[in-house]
Structure 1
């Protein structure tokens, strides 16, 4: 019943550093995408939206700063947290990195344990359900660690897919998710599922949420998808 693994993209041109980061991120339970330069990193983001990006400043051709600037100027990627990794320890460089839109700035050489903690901090902001947090929306409470859901303090019975759907909606109330986005987040990219399957499970989730009364919190947005609230 586990939620889809958080995806971390590592953009680092030094092979040894890239592999150390990937190994430690995988040990934390994340799925890792790896790029050795800025162009490759930007292509990977287009192919599969990561939850967090670790980005080296000193990259060949397109610098990390430029990659960060491009990501933060696009509507689709501006909210993806970027952790900038840099050997530049001067305050002016740190300020420049943050002003370009980096969400965090880590100076090399770094402590891997500290870096993993910083990834978790960013995930807590964008995907709290994956790190065992309790989510609340109006009278609905979802405990992602114990996999229990309550509405008006009464327990609800949800299947694994309905649980993952609800967690996705509760992480970003008000956001409209297309069927394709829900398929990627809830079922995973590697599994072929028809988009109509999403409608079936949304129907089941609505039914489960209605068992203790209350209004339907899910909204169908014609031609776009679904949203919570």
Structure 2
């Protein structure tokens, strides 16, 4: 995949500050990407519009706008309608998984997951060599 910048940019939208820090550390160190963070859905939509990331990691359960609504809005925007999205969630019922894919999620990872799993999916979606 060709990128418009030196390193791919990933937007992490999650209300869990600890998880955002862990993801940033893993992705910057092991996947050689840059990371922008958002702590809620509203901020995430603004960051997506401002930075036009190459990939978005999105939590489903957030206090303001749920991840499924954020995903639906991202898919309606011309700049982000084809941006790969990894959904992170504790919701593991079949209907939830199906709903996420219907809305346009590319990957659906249920908690607990490992940072290595996330890194692998990032590399796959961005077609990066290890």
Q: What secondary structure sits across from 2:81 in the alignment? A: coil
Q: 1:58-115 deviations in whole A, cap 9, x for unaligned?
A: 0111111000000111222101001000101111111011111111100011011111
Q: Name the counterpart of 2:49.
A: 46
Measure the CA separation in 2 of the matches of 1:95 and 1:104.
11
Structure 2 length normalisation: TM-score?
0.92
Q: Distance in 2 between matches of 1:55 and 1:88?
A: 13
Structure with greater contact order relative to length (CA < 8 Å, sep ≥ 6):
2
Secondary structure of the structure 2 residue equivalent to 1:53:
strand
Tell me if 1:73 matches 2:73: no
What per-residue deviation string (whole Å, max 9, x for no partner) do you get for residues 178-225 of structure 1?
xxxxxxxxxxxxxxxxxxxxxxxxxxxxxxxxxxxxxxxxxxxxxxxx
Distance 1:111 1:46 in 2: 28
Give the aligned CA root-mean-square deviation in angstroms: 1.4
Aligned partner of 1:100 in structure 2 is 103
Q: What residue ranges of structure 2 are gaps of 5+ in the alignment?
A: none
Q: Which has the larger radius of gyration?
A: 1
The 4+ residue runs of structure 1 with deviation greater than 4 A are: none
Deviations 1:146-178 (A, max 9, x none): xxxxxxxxxxxxxxxxxxxxxxxxxxxxxxxxx
In the alignment of these two chains, the number of paired residues is 125
**Residue 116 (structure 2) aligns with:** 113
